[in-house]
């Protein structure tokens, strides 16, 4: 009897051997327990034992890769035995009784081949068919017929298999860049290794190399350990399982595990892409011609186009030509083609180390490669997979497949840098020094491979790389400055009041007197944001950064600047609501709405009172409006609050509803706190991870009436802005403006605060505000423990 509880703890080979032995015994018992039919008069005697009967394992068991809690995929092949149905029943029921999931079929050789030749999934499975028990001659016939059928039907089945994998990749994503990857179905996952073997079986590609098999084997190890640790049949490497899996595999932590998974996935994806290109070229029907020749077109010195790929010219000498590598890569990217695999191997073997500093021709080729934009991305991936990119930039190894845990980031660090360079290529006409922009975009996060703040750490690293590339000392300094301050503009625009002269002065002092650096930083911020995600560089953020740049530009060159806020300008009220008799308050509530960049601007006018900004923010939260900036001004006892908002679910704000809500909240008939608590309960996301709350004060960065900036980082939730501003108002401070930035599950809210008396915020009051904010950041509804 099979000990199913012990199976997950066995190694892969031991687990397969135990299941094989058990299944072989089941087949013997099934045959022995099924009486043969009576022979027909004049017919041959009935066959006994396993003659004409073969139990074949397909799927993971057929490949000897059965994972813990894996399915058994079995095919009972027969050669016309009349009692086959009874034998099959006697074989399958003990498997079900053991609690194992079973995918089974009963086929003759002809039936199996017919199915395999018409169904790509069935054909793919039968390629892995392996004899577990029974007639080896019958199993050999099935294997031979299946391979022959697969090769004959390849031109019809392989395109279907290609389309199936591409559709799955679009749905699941690419293994190399997922924070919780599907080890089996994601592009670059285990399926890719299986498909590569199937293509090789069709004799349209070589057998997978040892490097590919090592990547595939590592993913198998990760999946086995994941299932063993989780105790269930899963292929998704979720966050909570990553650390125990890493420890079990001898890796230092979850980031190291995710990096190794990414490297394996990228290798499989890279080889799969190249294999499919070869398959598609082989399947294209070309007219037969005795004299047909593939066109060769010169692209650069020593580089030619040969058909649909780029190769070296016959007289090229990679060992004696240090510029050939980058010249070939730049030529390929310029015509939107790839280097041939053989050319890559030749360059990897024979290219010499570049002299330092790089010759001007080499640096120019590298810049031409980066300037090619999107077409440079696959070429750079080719160089990376052959180890050539790390040979050019040794520091690249520190960021290769380095995961980025932030939910904004779509890519690993190295791929993000390549994507940023591609995005920067579209902005080269907007700057005076496109070469410095391209290099800075490629290196702006190079410091993430080292401990410490990546901007500060990356500055000397990027400067050293630029010097090695042969840039002048002044240009090296600019590259270092761009890397050091690549987050300055977006962080300032979204977290500080750009109408405050102190904000403009601080940015100008940080950049220096060179307006060209400001221009480059603006383009770099755009490229960085575009390479991160749509959320990281929204029209709203682009609008704020452009406004900040305009103000700093005016400061640097001494020209006039438009001092009006780019978004927070009061608009004409469209709706009014009268406040009924409330002791001490008279007046109207007015609401005006205007479409602005990536959202709407809401202007609310109401009689001034303590906590008015908080009240308005609460009403907006109840109406499913996310606030991204807020500002309040008071004139003769009447306050005008201006909010930049974005509808959470796509419904534009309705002025009548907002006006009625503010009126009801002011008169006390709308219990904001209670309603927002219920809203948080309704939209609570269990298990969402966020950074611990953090509060910091920046009193030196402001001027005018505001006496300080308090920055709050906390997990985002419904009504958070209302609670924070109410907490600040409860300690006697006025909030004059706010900047709100949501980073995935976290929020960074910056409040400009002042004492109504005009006095500075003393340490004791600051401590009270901190305590009130901590209380406000606690979830109103506790998440139940698992």
Q: How many residues in the chain?
A: 786
Cα–Cα distances (Å) from 106 to 73, 120, 284, 421, 549, in that order, read 12, 18, 37, 56, 72
- Calpha distance 573→734 (Å, rounded): 24
Mean residue pLDDT of the chain comes to: 88
Residue 170, Cβ density class (10 Å: 0-12 exposed, 13-18 middle, ≥19 buried): exposed
Whether the per-residue pLDDT at 262 is higher than 90: the answer is yes
The per-residue pLDDT for range 599-628, each reduced to its tens digit, is 889 999 998 888 899 999 999 999 989 888
412-464, pLDDT tens digit by residue?
A: 999 999 999 999 999 999 999 999 999 999 999 999 989 999 999 999 999 99
Full DSSP string of 420-475: HHHHHGGGGGGSS-HHHHHHHHHHTTGGGGSSS-HHHHHHHHHHHHHHHTT--HHH
Asked whether the beta carbons of 399 and 445 are under 8 A apart, the reply is: yes
Predicted confidence at residue 700, as pLDDT, reads: 67
CA dihedral 355, 358, 360, 361 (to 10 degrees): 70
Q: How confident is the model at residue 646 (pLDDT cuts 50, 70, 90)?
A: confident
Could you give the strand order of the β-sheet that contains 296-300, starting from the edge strand earlier in sequence? Answer: 296-300, 303-306, 309-312, 338-339
C-alpha span between 536 and 538 (Å, rounded) = 6
Whole-model pTM above 0.75?
yes
- pLDDT at position 584 is 45
Structural contact between residues 603 and 638, judged by C-beta atoms closer than 8 angstroms: no
pLDDT of residue 586: 52
> What confidence score (pLDDT) does residue 564 get?
47
Percent with pLDDT over 70 in the chain = 91
Nearest one of 371, 455, 374, 385 to 419, comparing CA atoms: 374
Asked if the bond preceding 357 is cis, omega within 30° of 0, the reply is yes
10 Å CB burial of residue 782 (0-12, 13-18, 19+) is exposed
Enumerate long-range contacts of 678-682, CB under 8 Å, 24 or more apart.
679/621, 679/622, 679/718, 679/719, 680/717, 680/718, 680/719, 680/779, 680/780, 680/781, 681/780, 681/781
Residue 783 has pLDDT above 50, yes or no: no
Calculate helix-pair angle for 539-557, 501-511, nearest 10 degrees. 80
Please give the CATH topology (third level) of the domain spanning 7-36+48-152: Beta Polymerase; domain 2 (3.30.460)
Does the pLDDT of residue 292 top 60, yes or no? no
Q: What is the DSSP string of 21-76?
A: HHHHHHHHHHHHTSPPPPPPTTSPPPP-TTTTEEEEEEHHHHTT-PPTTPPEEEEE
Looking at residue 786, its pLDDT comes to: 36
pLDDT at residue number 41: 58
For the chain, how far is it from start to end, CA to CA, in angstroms?
Answer: 36
Residues whose CB falls within 8 Å of the CB of residue 179, separated by 6 or more in sequence, listed in order: 239, 258, 403, 405, 407
What percentage of the chain exceeds 90 in pLDDT? 59
Residue 294: the pLDDT is 63
Confidence (pLDDT) at 778: 80
Torsion of CA 463, 469, 470, 475, to 10 degrees: -40
Pairing verdict, β 575-578 and 588-596: antiparallel
Phi/psi at 763 (5° precision): -55, -35
* Tens digits of residue pLDDT in 163-210: 888 888 888 999 999 999 999 999 999 999 999 999 998 888 889 999
Sign of the CA dihedral running 560, 561, 564, 566:
positive
CB atoms within 10 A of CB 667: 14
Q: What is the pLDDT of residue 296?
A: 84
Tens of pLDDT along 552-582? 999 988 766 554 455 577 877 777 665 554 4
The pLDDT tens digits for 733-781 are: 988 888 888 766 678 889 999 888 888 888 888 999 999 999 988 865 5
The top-level CATH class assigned to 156-283 is: mainly alpha
Task: Assign a CATH topology to domain 575-777.
Answer: Alpha-Beta Plaits (3.30.70)
Instruction: Delimit the domains of the chain by residue range.
Output: 7-36+48-152, 156-283, 298-392, 417-562, 575-777
């Amino acid at each position: 009897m099979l000990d199913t509880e012990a199976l997950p703890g066995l190694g892969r080979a031991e687990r397969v051997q135990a299941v094989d032995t058990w299944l072989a015994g089941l087949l013997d018992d099934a045959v022995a327990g099924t009486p043969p039919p009576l022979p027909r008069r004049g017919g041959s005697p009935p066959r006994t034992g396993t003659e004409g009967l073969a139990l074949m394992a397909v799927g993971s068991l057929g490949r000897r890769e059965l994972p813990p809690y894996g399915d058994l995929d079995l095919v009972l092949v027969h050669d016309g035995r009349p009692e086959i149905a009874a034998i099959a029943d006697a074989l399958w029921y003990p498997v079900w009784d053991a609690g194992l999931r079973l995918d089974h079929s009963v086929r003759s050789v002809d039936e199996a081949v017919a199915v395999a030749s018409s169904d790509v999934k069935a054909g793919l499975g039968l390629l892995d068919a392996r004899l577990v028990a029974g007639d080896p001659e019958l199993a050999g016939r099935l294997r031979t017929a299946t391979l022959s059928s697969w090769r004959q039907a390849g031109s019809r089945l392989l395109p279907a298999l290609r389309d199936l994998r591409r559709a799955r990749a679009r749905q699941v994503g690419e293994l190399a860049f997922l924070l919780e990857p599907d080890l089996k179905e994601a592009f670059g996952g285990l399926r890719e290794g299986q498909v590569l073997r199937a293509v090789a079986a069709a004799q349209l590609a070589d057998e997978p190399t040892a490097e590919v098999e090592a990547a595939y084997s590592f993913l198998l190890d990760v999946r086995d350990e994941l299932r063993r640790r989780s105790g269930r049949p899963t292929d998704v490497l979720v966050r909570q399982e990553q650390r125990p899996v890493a420890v079990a595999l001898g890796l230092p932590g979850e980031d190291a595990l995710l990096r190794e998974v990414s490297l394996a996935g990228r290798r499989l994806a890279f080889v799969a892409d190249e294999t499919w290109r070869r398959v598609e070229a082989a399947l294209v029907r070309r007219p037969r011609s005795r004299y047909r020749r593939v066109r060769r077109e010169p692209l650069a010195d020593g580089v030619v186009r040969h058909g649909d790929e780029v190769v070296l010219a016959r007289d090229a000498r990679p060992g004696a030509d240090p510029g050939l590598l980058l010249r070939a890569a730049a030529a390929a990217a310029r015509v939107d083609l790839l280097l041939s695999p053989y050319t890559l191997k030749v360059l990897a073997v024979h290219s010499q180390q570049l002299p330092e500093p790089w010759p001007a021709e080499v640096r120019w080729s590298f810049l031409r490669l980066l300037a090619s934009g999107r077409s440079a991305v696959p070429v750079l991936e080719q160089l990376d997979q052959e180890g050539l990119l790390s040979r050019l930039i040794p520091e690249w190894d520190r960021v290769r497949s380095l995961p980025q845990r932030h939910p904004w980031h779509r890519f690993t660090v190295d791929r993000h840098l390549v994507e940023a360079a591609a995005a920067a290529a579209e902005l080269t006409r907007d700057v005076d020094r496109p070469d410095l922009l391209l290099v800075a975009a490629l290196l702006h996060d190079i410091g993430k491979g080292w401990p410490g703040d990546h901007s500060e750490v990356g500055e000397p690293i990027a400067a050293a790389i630029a010097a090695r590339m042969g840039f002048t000392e002044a240009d090296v300094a600019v590259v270092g400055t761009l890397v050091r301050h690549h987050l300055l503009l977006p962080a300032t625009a979204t977290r500080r009041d750009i109408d405050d002269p102190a904000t403009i002065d601080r940015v100008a002092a940080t950049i220096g007197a060179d307006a060209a650096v400001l221009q480059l930083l603006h383009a770099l911020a755009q490229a960085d944001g575009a390479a991160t995600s749509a959320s990281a560089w929204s029209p709203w953020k682009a609008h704020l950064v452009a406004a900040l740049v305009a103000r700093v530009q005016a400061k640097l060159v001494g020209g006039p600047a438009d001092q009006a806020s780019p978004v927070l300008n009061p608009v004409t009220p469209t709706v009014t609501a009268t406040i009924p008799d409330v002791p001490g308050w008279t007046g109207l509530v007015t609401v005006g709405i205007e479409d602005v960049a990536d959202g709407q601007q809401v202007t609310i006018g109401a009689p001034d009172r303590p906590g008015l900004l908080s009240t308005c923010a609460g009403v907006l939260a109840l109406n499913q409006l996310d606030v991204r900036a807020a500002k309040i001004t008071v004139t003769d006892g009447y306050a005008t609050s201006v909010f930049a908002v974005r509808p959470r679910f796509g419904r534009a704000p309705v002025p009548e509803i907002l006006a009625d809500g503010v009126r009801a909240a002011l008169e006390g008939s709308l219990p904001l706190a209670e309603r927002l608590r219920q809203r948080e309960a309704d939209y609570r996301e269990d298990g969402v991870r966020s950074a611990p709350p953090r509060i910091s004060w920046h009193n030196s960065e402001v001027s005018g009436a505001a006496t300080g900036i308090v920055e709050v980082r906390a997990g985002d939730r419904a009504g958070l802005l209302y609670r924070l501003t109410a907490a600040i108002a409860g300690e006697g401070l006025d909030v004059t403006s706010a900047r709100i930035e949501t980073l995935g599950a976290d929020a960074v809210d910056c409040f400009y605060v002042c004492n109504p008396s005009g006095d500075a915020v003393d340490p004791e009051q600051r401590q009270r505000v901190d305590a009130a904010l901590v209380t406000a950041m606690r979830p109103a509804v506790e998440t139940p423990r698992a």
